[in-house]
Amino acid sequence: MDKLWTKRLPPLCAALGGVLLAGTVASCFGLERAGGDDCAFIVLALLAMAALAAVLVWLETRSERAVMIMLAPIGAAMLVRVLCLDYASGDYNTFLSHWYEYFKINGGFSAMAGSVGDYNVPYLYFMAAISYFNVPDLYLIKLLSILWDVALAWGCLRLVRSLTRERQGSRAPLIAFGTALLLPTVVLNGALWAQCDAIYGALCIHAAALVLEGKNKTSVALIAVAFAFKLQAVFILPLWGVLWLAGRVKFRELWVFPLTYFATIVPALLMGKPLSDILGVYFNQMGEYPRLVLNAPSVYQFIPYGIALDENLAARLGIIAAGVLALILLALGFRLRDRLDRDAAMTMAVVLCVGVPFLLPHMHERYFFLADVFTLCWACANVRRVPAAVLAAGASLASYCVYLRLEYNFVLRLGEYTFVMGVEALAMLAALIFAMYVLVGQIWKCTKGEMA
């Protein structure tokens, strides 16, 4: 195997990557919405992203063999994404295209002061910027997400390297990089669906890698930027509280969070956007979808379809349960303190990313994005945890299919009760139980060491 790795595999992967990138270029010229100049722009953008991915691998590994091997997943990632570019999702047609049109008609950044969209201002900066281009907005929106897919894969490499630093020569970080690029939910989220979860997902992954490396201020700054992009960053935010209580992060370093968040909204304020509009975005989002669950593989899928219940009470119970889960982890951080190692902290991150959206009401299928990528890194660092990654990613992918196909995958009927997404919820619950089981073992090991 070592001979194959060092001699034969790199040139084969490099050749395959070249063929796949050539296929990417050819596919660009078949895009339905693109003219000649548009196609050239997209080709250059995708090739630049492929080159960026290769450069990042080189910077992290200083290994030509690693770069050559990674050219295969990089080429495959670009090809599969270009094949998704023409698809226009319901979210694009209903929301994103209209936001773009608003900025296009009203002068780009000059329109920032107005009320448009239900995303926070960092994403609106991008929408204002692309309004100056003549390339079809569908492609520009997706290209931004693809760029952040590369950043996400880079973050996965760094996070797994932080978890495996004692294992010299481990290939796990490269496996994480290549797998993250090709993870189905990552591909579908941006390149097909035109969503931007890769932005806050990449920032959260990098923030976790940095905090495990002791670079706390930069880590807190990145998680603040992640929160500025998407409210769903709060799922993993308690991790920094855990590390503070464990003595791994100083309280004065946490002040970087509000300062960074404020820095992200200053440009919008200077362009005339009311502070109340900016701060109200997330509150408006929380009340935007009254349904108890929106195709998410969460605990609410165990409620039989169509059954009458007090949804407000169920929602409050779910919020309380998610809060209790976070409080338990905070208490464990305080209890373990100096004995909280990187592996246990990562397990806590996985429990948060899976458990919090599993318990909260009003969740969309995309809200398990962090669960997908954090369980992937967790599994790459320790192969015995692969079942959790497979369960989480499988449940998320199945939930994506429900939205994209507008049809349920597996409808369970138990007597007079029907469960439309019970299988997906069971898979996500199994991933959560798996992670909690591992965490209990880690806590027992630390406690046993203390008693000894």
Give the 3-state secondary structure of 367-391. HHHHHHHHHHHHHHHCHHHHHHHHH
The whole-number pLDDT of residue 449 equals: 56
| Tens digit of each residue's pLDDT, the chain (452 residues) | 456 556 788 999 999 999 999 999 999 999 999 988 999 999 999 999 999 999 999 999 999 999 999 999 999 999 999 999 999 999 999 999 999 999 999 999 999 999 888 899 999 999 999 999 999 999 999 999 999 999 999 999 999 999 998 888 889 999 999 999 999 999 999 999 999 999 999 999 999 999 999 999 999 999 999 999 999 999 999 999 999 999 999 999 999 999 999 999 999 999 999 999 998 888 887 766 778 999 999 999 999 998 888 999 999 999 999 999 999 999 999 999 888 999 999 999 999 999 999 999 999 999 999 999 999 999 999 999 999 999 999 999 999 999 999 999 999 999 899 999 999 999 999 999 999 999 999 998 887 755 44
Query: Does residue 70 form part of some domain?
Result: no
CA distances from 161 to 342, 382, 435 (A): 11, 12, 20
Q: What are phi and psi of 418, to 5 degrees?
A: -120, 135
Structure tokens belonging to residue 384? 């015995």
Q: Determine contact, residues 395/427, Cβ cutoff 8 Å.
A: yes
293-294/412-414 β-pairing: unpaired
pLDDT at residue 451, as a whole number: 44
Asked whether residue 68 is domain-assigned, the answer is: no
d(CA 208, CA 213): 9
Which domain covers residue 155, as residue numbers? 84-451
Question: How many domains are there within the chain?
Answer: 1
Q: Is residue 141 part of a domain?
A: yes
Catalogue the E-assigned strands of 216-258. Answer: none
For tokens 């496996």, the residue is 175
Separation of alpha carbons 132 and 294, rounded Å:
35
Q: Is position 64 within any domain?
A: no
Instruction: Return all residues near 322 (Cβ < 8 A) that are at least 6 apart.
Output: 355, 356, 359, 360
Q: Measured in Å, how far apart are the chain's first and last C-alpha atoms?
A: 42
> In b/e form, how buried is each residue of 283-292, taking b as 16+ CB within 10 angstroms?
eebeeeeeeb
Q: Is there a domain that residue 360 lies in? A: yes
Report whether 211 contacts 249 (CB < 8 A): yes
Q: In the prediction, which pLDDT does 286 show? A: 72
Considering the domain boundaries, does residue 431 fall inside one? Answer: yes
Q: Identify which of 392, 393, 366, 362 has the alpha carbon closest to the alpha carbon of residue 294.
A: 362
Question: Is position 49 within any domain?
Answer: no
Q: Is residue 356 part of a domain?
A: yes
pLDDT on residue 118: 85
Identify the helix (H) or strand (E) that includes residue 418.
strand 417-419
